[in-house]
Structure 1
Amino acid sequence: MSTSSKSLLIPIGVRGMRSLDREKFNRNITAPVLKVSGEKLSKITQICKTYFLKMENFKPVQNLVDQCNENLNKCIYFDPNKVTNWTDIPDNIRTSLKQYDIDEKNFDLFDLTLTYNNFKFDTIFKAVLPENEEIVSSFSHIGHIIHLNLRDHLLEYRWLIGQVLLDKIKNCRTVVNKTYVIDNTYRNFNMEVIAGDEDFIVTVKENKCNFQFDFSKVYWNPRLCKEHERILELLKPGDVLFDVFCGVGPFAIPAAKKNCRVFANDLNPESYKWLNLNAKQNKIKADIFRSFNMDGKEFIQKIFKCYILNVCNEKDKIDDGAKIHITMNLPAIAVEFLKYFRGLIKETDLKDKFNSEIIVHVYCFTVGENHTAIAKQLVNENFGTDVSPYILNVFNVRNVSPKKEMMRVSFKLTKEFIFDTNCISEETNEPPCKIQCTRKTEE
């Protein structure tokens, strides 16, 4: 077959289109067909289904009115990129078809008009957007919202891109483009609606829980679903979870569902609002779930510290064999909060009264070649001492950009660290700073 046939199922004449004109995607092609009887259809389709013409909103098997042979009442459309004549069909396939009296006399060519409705969104983008440039390769689907992070060279096409996705993605009602990287304490970002309704209230199901939130005011990344699941698999009923930067609760809510005791915190008042709503809607028991709207430093120095002291003084208890897990999913700056655990408790006489295992799961961004080594170094530098002997796992969560990864370091926070008398605690009588960092960070 000639190489020119490779373009038969791609729109032509639309390169550079910025305002969507659906009529211009119409394309007339000649498609090979196989005319068969309905009685033999099921057997024949099994033989040659790999050659079917597969397009959106198109049925490769259709009814046929053949005035020359009324028994041939079905036709099968083949992909013209694979077949242009009878001999393009491999010998073994033709031999199998011969058993059902199907041969070259059943082969024909029909004129066919493809329209905008027949092309997938990625095919449209390849035909419209600049050649030899990165196109829309990925996006996030959050409830009814499609979330894009378009490169600069695609911004002039954003209205077309948004409308195409609105047309093509099932259950999509809103398409937004992030206008710049996250650059505030609450990790939300400015966005531009490029198609559909200005409706940011979404409902997402993850790990058997429903989460509702305003996507324009809180942080949610569907690419972290599997990571949430990994941590939840480590938690057992009776365990205790301190979620320092909990967002709307993707760790905290499912953990409470597993009958873990949960202390969930987020500085963003919008996240705090939706966290509590999600706890209520998922029927989380109030006696095992507490929520806080604090800076991470304050949460560690007050809530976590108070719990450890209460356990030591027998004012609170933890089940025998249960573990305490601390999740710190704020990868741009979470490691900077590790220092608040060292020397947190000055009452060293209580040290021997605490015997529960504490595991910290801290997230960070790494840039370079050896991401495992870089992640360990970040943890050690920010913790203020070498925790390498206590590291349980260094896990690559996801790729963020070329040479940049999101990593998770899980390590044991021993009581020797918490009751470290050699460490000068940064706790003061002054209220903790409400805004820990306002540097620009990537999602």
Structure 2
Amino acid sequence: MSRYFLPPVNRAMTTLDRSFFQKTVKITAAHVFDPKNVGRVQKECVEDIFKGSRSVKSVVSEVDSNGKRRMLVRLKPDVKHTDLSTVGESTRNLVKGQILELIPHDLHLKYENWGYNEIAEAILPEELVNDCPSSSTRVAHIVQLNLQNKFLPYKHMLGAIILDKNPEVRTVVNKIEAVGTWSEFRTFPMELLAGSPDTQVVVNEWNCEFHFDFAKVYWNSRLANEHQRIVRMFEPGEAVADVMAGVGPFAIPAAKNRVLVWANDFNPDAFESLQKNIMINKVHGVVQPFKLEASEFIRTSVRNLYRLSRSPSAIRNPIKVYSHQYSEGVQEILRRAGKTEEEINPPPVYLRIPPFFSHFVMNNPATAASSLEGFIGAYNGLENQFFDAENLPKREFPLVHLYIFQKAGPMQYTKRHICREISRGLGYKVRPEDLEHLELVKMVGPEKGYYCASFRLPAEVMFADVPPPREEKEDLNVRHWLKWSEYDDIPPQ
């Protein structure tokens, strides 16, 4: 914003005083004699016109000193009403043609005319202005900040400004501690800065509706594209195990794509929301919810799915999946467009339960690698389902999508570190070339990345007879099941 239009400054303010923010700026306006010519003036004098904003318009109507209403087009602050040399040729020609005249104009600005950044920078100490906190996370009606300590004395004023400048926001909170340090469920304590204490939200993502309490479960709206990227890998008719499902951002969109999903979360609040979202999105029967510790869920779900797929009841009664149901109004529009009744209300599709999961999604970057132990021996005794009599593969091994934090650096360096963590979890050496894909989902710090590593389960892990012995090492909080001589040249994280 031009310096002419910045709000007044009060760096001693401790409680937000909205009435303080008032200012009158003397500028020049073009008085258009005939309102019908306003459009012409806007078009021909574009280089001289004040570039208005949502709250400060370029064209205004006002009553003059004689009580007559007139149309004004506000001009840039460097235009002088007494000096035609300060405007362009087009404006000069319109003045000479008596289409308009240049007159002095008082532009009155108040709190409502300035945005969050302008107000915040006017109240913060000068040494903090350049670092004015402007990034935040938006979840439905909640804005969540992550304020540095130096901004905490001004937190309530900043929260109030955000609330004022975003009509759709009703709650502003500040994250007090880092994600995962306070709870094993990746929730975090927060304080209310402004607005209502209501943290119950409804989020729409990829034609799915999610209901949950933002204070009790983990949700990140910036992961919408990542959710869709993974879901697009699933084929209709496949079975997917969502090991740390949360409120269902992977599971429910997948189910709507006719994928059978077993979704698990150990957080009782997330599990409750998951159950609710399954019903709201009408994917019950396609998504089965569980509340187990992650590695236990992996071990039990593999066997249970296989047994279920072979049961006479499941064979006789495949899962009925209905397509999206249009509202009556939309149905009528489609009929008028020539769509058939079968296109408007297609018959249900019947899914048979696959014997094995094609994908495992493990989206808890803090604990997913250690939960890989659940795969050790999980398929023991089922070798004949994956190999024929000549010991040749007859079906693909499951693909695991594991989320993990790792120091960002050269990709080969990062791959080796991630493979080390995967290997510790599986008790089996996984090499960089074993990764089918490694995606940097986002940066969560200056040097810390949030990655998704996709790899096939090794046969040596799946069909292992007995999990290898493990030795806990508390200072690293990892499980050492192998000797790591090949990784000795990698500096510790």
TM-score, length basis structure 2: 0.76
The reply to whether residue 164 of structure 1 matches residue 161 of structure 2 is yes
Q: Deviations over 1:55-112 (max 9, x none)?
A: 44332211245679x8x932112343x65665454x4xx3377379668962233112
Q: Which of the residues 448, 467, 477 maps onto 1:424?
A: 467
Aligned to 1:401, what secondary structure does the other structure show? coil
* Change in CA separation of 1:102 and 1:259 when aligned onto 2, cut-off 3 Å: farther
Q: Tell me, yes or no, if the aligned pair for 1:257 and 1:284 is still in contact at 8 Å.
A: yes
Aligned to 1:106, what secondary structure does the other structure show? strand
Aligned equivalents of 1:343 and 1:83: distance in 2? 79
The residue type equivalent to 2:263 in the other structure is A
Q: Which of the residues 364, 377, 386 maps onto 2:417?
A: 377
Q: Deviations over 1:291-350 (max 9, x none)?
A: 111111111111134335666999886669x97121111112222222432433321643
Aligned equivalents of 2:122 and 2:99: distance in 1? 35
* Change in CA separation of 1:387 and 1:120 when aligned onto 2, cut-off 3 Å: same
Aligned equivalents of 1:88 and 1:358: distance in 2? 72
Q: Deviations over 1:164-212 (max 9, x none)?
A: 1111112111111111113211111111111111111111101101111
Q: Deviations over 1:359-396 (max 9, x none)?
A: 21111112242256324422343333124333222111
Q: Tell me, yes or no, if the aligned pair for 2:239 and 2:354 is still in contact at 8 Å.
A: no
| Residue correspondence of structure 1 range 329-368 to structure 2 within 5 A | 329-347=363-381, 349-350=383-384, 351-352=386-387, 355-368=395-408
| Residue correspondence of structure 1 range 195-274 to structure 2 within 5 A | 195-274=194-273
Identity level (%): 30
Match of 2:391 in 1: none
* Change in CA separation of 1:242 and 1:153 when aligned onto 2, cut-off 3 Å: same
Q: Which of the residues 10, 13, 17 maps onto 1:17?
A: 13
Instruction: Report deviation, 1:257.
Output: 1.1
Match of 2:101 in 1: 106
The residue type equivalent to 1:301 in the other structure is R
Q: Tell me, yes or no, if the aligned pair for 2:362 and 2:402 is still in contact at 8 Å.
A: yes
The reply to whether residue 402 of structure 1 matches residue 446 of structure 2 is yes
| Structure 1 segments unaligned to the other structure (5+ residues) | 428-435, 438-443
Instruction: Report deviation, 1:398.
Output: 1.1
Instruction: Report deviation, 1:52.
Output: 2.9
Match of 1:388 in 2: 432
Aligned to 1:28, what secondary structure does the other structure show? strand
* Change in CA separation of 1:99 and 1:109 when aligned onto 2, cut-off 3 Å: closer
* Change in CA separation of 1:6 and 1:96 when aligned onto 2, cut-off 3 Å: closer
Q: Tell me, yes or no, if the aligned pair for 2:136 and 2:144 is still in contact at 8 Å.
A: yes
Match of 2:327 in 1: none
Match of 1:430 in 2: none
Q: Which of the residues 144, 147, 155 maps onto 2:144?
A: 147
* Change in CA separation of 1:56 and 1:250 when aligned onto 2, cut-off 3 Å: same
Q: Tell me, yes or no, if the aligned pair for 2:8 and 2:21 is still in contact at 8 Å.
A: yes
Deviates further, 99-108 or 358-367:
99-108
Match of 1:440 in 2: none
Aligned equivalents of 1:426 and 1:144: distance in 2? 49
The residue type equivalent to 1:7 in the other structure is R
Aligned equivalents of 1:173 and 1:63: distance in 2? 33
Aligned to 2:90, what secondary structure does the other structure show? helix
Q: Deviations over 1:223-274 (max 9, x none)?
A: 1111112112222221222111111111111111111000101110000000
Deviates further, 177-186 or 323-332:
323-332
Q: Deviations over 1:121-143 (max 9, x none)?
A: 12111222233432222111111
Aligned equivalents of 1:359 and 1:140: distance in 2? 31
Q: Which of the residues 31, 35, 56 maps onto 1:35?
A: 31
Larger Cα Rg: Structure 1 or Structure 2? 2
Q: Deviations over 1:392-441 (max 9, x none)?
A: 221111121211221111222254541245x73579xxxxxxxx99xxxx
Aligned to 1:385, what secondary structure does the other structure show? coil
Aligned to 2:387, what secondary structure does the other structure show? helix
Aligned to 2:232, what secondary structure does the other structure show? helix
The residue type equivalent to 2:171 in the other structure is T
Deviates further, 244-253 or 334-343:
334-343
The reply to whether residue 137 of structure 1 matches residue 134 of structure 2 is yes
Match of 1:431 in 2: none
TM-score, length basis structure 1: 0.84
Q: Tell me, yes or no, if the aligned pair for 1:34 and 1:106 is still in contact at 8 Å.
A: yes
Deviates further, 222-231 or 297-306:
297-306
Higher relative contact order structure (alpha carbons within 8 Å, sequence separation ≥ 6) = 1
Aligned equivalents of 2:79 and 2:74: distance in 1? 10
RMSD: 3.2
Q: Tell me, yes or no, if the aligned pair for 2:231 and 2:254 is still in contact at 8 Å.
A: yes
Aligned to 1:280, what secondary structure does the other structure show? helix
Aligned equivalents of 1:88 and 1:15: distance in 2? 36
The residue type equivalent to 2:139 in the other structure is I
Q: Tell me, yes or no, if the aligned pair for 1:203 and 1:213 is still in contact at 8 Å.
A: yes
Q: Tell me, yes or no, if the aligned pair for 1:11 and 1:127 is still in contact at 8 Å.
A: yes
The residue type equivalent to 1:221 in the other structure is N
Q: Deviations over 1:267-292 (max 9, x none)?
A: 10000000000110111131x21111
Match of 2:348 in 1: none
Aligned equivalents of 2:469 and 2:218: distance in 1? 29
